[in-house]
Amino acid sequence: MITYSVEPFSEIIEEMKPLFQAHWKELALYQDTIQLDPDYSVYERAAQLGMLLMFSARQDGVLIGYAVFFLKRHPHYRTTIWAQSDIYWIAPEHRRGHVGAGLFAFVEDEFMARGVGVSQIGVKEAHPAAAKLLESLGYEKVEASYAKRLS
């Protein structure tokens, strides 16, 4: 059975860490020179301030996916809370079916309950399946992002 929940940083982070390596290998840019090295203190501090939500997708209690968002008031629209995606990932063997759609539906319900006005989620160009999923859930493409390795 698949379940979704919000879990405190302190209770889920150690369980997430082993999944980060597979996530990084699949999606990260510039892997030949930039290694995965999260600053967990940033996440811990954001969690303490109520500015971090960590969502889990579990099958029979085993973590199979996650979504991490930062909540903040946008500097241009200070009366609106924005949820900005940091990372999200579903283990490849669980991507068939509705696990991703279920996770994002749960995320949206939680945002609405917390008064979030806008959910903003980035998608890697090399992985268009995420864009298709988000579009099927009513998200629209609003901006493109560009990167250039400088060192």
Would the CA dihedral through 90, 118, 84, 126 be positive or negative?
positive
Residue pair 81/72 in contact (Cβ under 8 Å)? The answer is yes
The amino acid at residue 44 is E
What's the mean per-residue pLDDT of the chain?
95
Residue 82, both tokens: 């924005």
Q: Is the pLDDT of residue 126 over 90?
A: no
Res 151: pLDDT = 84
pLDDT band at 39 (very low <50, low <70, confident <90, very high): very high
Angle between helix 128-136 and 99-113 (nearest 10): 50
Domains of the chain with CATH codes = 2-136 (3.40.630.30)
Of the CA atoms within 13 Å of residue 98, those in its CB half-sphere come to: 9
pTM: 0.94
Residue pair 94/84 in contact (Cβ under 8 Å)? The answer is no
Residue pair 5/15 in contact (Cβ under 8 Å)? The answer is no
52: three-class secondary structure by DSSP: strand
What number is the average pLDDT over the span 81-93? 96
Residue 25, Cα to own-chain centre: how many angstroms?
16
